[in-house]
Amino acid sequence: MKFGIVVNEGPYQHQASDTAYLFCKAAIAKGHEVWRVFFYHDGVNNSSKLTEPPQDDRHIVNRWSKLNEEQGVDLVVCVAAALRRGIKEDNLAKGFRISGLGQLTEAGIQTDRTVVFGD
C-alpha cells in the first residue's frame, strides 16, 4: 500500500509528529511505501534546522531528515504555513522542501490512503 501522510502539529507540543514518524517507520518495515509527508499548520515546525532539543531528548527534525535520506520519503512543507511561522528555505532542515497545497492534493491522488496526524 502507498501512503500519504499529513502532519498538522509541531514536533514538541503534541504527540502527532512522533506518532506520524513511528507510523512511517512501521509501514516501511512492513513493505509499504510512504510516498510523501506533508507538513501543514504548526506541523511545518518539524522542518526547522534551528531546532535544538536538549542532549538527552529525541531530535524529531533529524528523525524526519534521516527518513528522507534513507528511504527517499518526500518531505513537503506548506509554503503559506511556513512563512507565517518564519520558516524559509534558508532555515529549512536537510531533506525538506517548501511547496504549496497542490502537493497535498497530489498525494491524495497518487496514494492509496492519506493518514492525518494532529488536528
Residue pLDDT, tens place only, 90-105: 999 999 999 999 999 9
Task: Report the C-alpha gap between 24 and 98 in whole angstroms.
Answer: 20
**pTM listed for this prediction:** 0.96
Q: What is the pLDDT of residue 20?
A: 98
Q: Tell me the mean pLDDT in the region 20-48.
A: 98
Mean pLDDT to the nearest integer, 34-38: 98
Instruction: Kindly state the average pLDDT of the residues 39-59.
Output: 94
Calculate the alpha carbon distances from 68 to 32, 61, 63, 73, 95 in Å: 15, 11, 9, 5, 6
What domains are there in the chain, each with its CATH number?
Answer: 2-110 (3.40.1260.10)
Calculate the CA 93 to chain-centre distance.
Answer: 11
Please identify which of the residues 73, 76, 78, 81 carries the catalytic annotation.
78
How many other C-beta atoms are found inside a 10 Å radius of the C-beta of residue 84? Answer: 12
Instruction: Confirm whether 78 is a catalytic residue.
Output: yes
| pLDDT one-digit tens code per residue, 1-31 | 999 999 999 999 899 999 999 999 999 999 9
By the 8 A CB rule, do 45 and 85 touch?
A: yes
Are the C-beta atoms of 64 and 70 separated by less than 8 Å? no
